Amino acid sequence: MRISTSTGTCGSVFWTQKMYYSCEQAIESIAKAGFDAIDLCFVAYGRKGLPMDAPDWRDWVKRQKENCDKHNLPVTQAHAHYYSVAESMKFTALDWEDNIGRIKRDIEAAGMCQVPWLVIHPDSVNDEAGYSRKKSLASETERFKRFGELAAKYGTGIAIENMVDHLGIGYGRRFGCNAEDLLELLDKLNADDIFGICWDTGHANLAQVNQPAAIQQIGSRLKALHINDNRGEKDDHLLPYLGYVEWTSLLKSLADVNYQGDFTYEIHNFTGGMSPEIHQQGVEFSVLVARQMVSEIEKGMKEK
């Protein structure tokens, strides 16, 4: 099983929001650290004023793919544009058009990079009574059908990510916080050659999901991972074992379902506070942790 990480692992330093490392530098750092593959975090480079927001974004994407090839890093995963619940509650029609357009752009970019699985967040629909699962499922079925048509055109797949409710901070419940939501959506889409599931271990921990049971339910439809940890209060995106995720049973469940994808980190807040002088060592340490975790999964597969 290959180990991989998001380019977001090499984003900022000293907890600043400003991007410190370019995508080119992130690719070089990840290769040097010893990862087998890479996850291109398109969303980090695609907001207003950034390279994928420019008219020549296709040239930029082509350069990143060439850079990954130069460093022998297959691009096995990518992350599409997303927006927060708070943002979407204020969207105008033009805002919706702009944000959906950015996701469509990232689907094309995934095709350019020959990415097997582009991760996309599901959305939610509220009515006058609040969150509506029924309306959310119907809306997401139609939205992802349109995304799926583009994905088929450009030769990529879409992995729909599990979310987490925003209870207590004003936004309420969200669609896609459990395996049942995601599996029902996949059933409605009825295109397993195009659609799968990305399981974010940190989101599931916050949602208090029984992760081994959920992974068993998802089974072969699990195509991608966002491996990260937290302490059950915030979406910290820490290195495994720095939070409260119960890793032993989770790794066993990945072995039990014979998970065939990559072991991919999304741990930007593990490295995001480090100084430039020790940042690379932090990335390299994360490789040691990933190798050990993968060895446990592979051992479990052999013992089945």
Domains of the chain, by residue range, sit at 3-303
pLDDT averaged over every residue in the chain: 95
CB 119 within 8 A of CB 79: yes
CB 249 within 8 A of CB 285: no
CB 202 within 8 A of CB 240: no
CB 296 within 8 A of CB 254: no
**What is the average per-residue pLDDT within 281-295?**
99
pLDDT above 90 covers a percentage of the chain that reads: 87
**What is the average per-residue pLDDT within 170-188?**
90
Given pLDDT bands bounded at 50, 70 and 90, which one contains residue 171?
low
Q: Looking at domain 3-303, which CATH architecture does it have?
A: Alpha-Beta Barrel (3.20)
Predicted confidence (pLDDT) per residue in 18-54, tens digit = 889 999 999 999 999 999 999 999 999 998 899 999 9
Give the C-alpha separation, 46 to 64, whole Å: 13
**What is the average per-residue pLDDT within 189-197?**
98
**What is the average per-residue pLDDT within 122-144?**
91
Determine the pLDDT at residue 74: 99
DSSP letter for 282, please. H
Determine the pLDDT at residue 138: 97
Give the C-alpha separation, 250 to 227, whole Å: 11
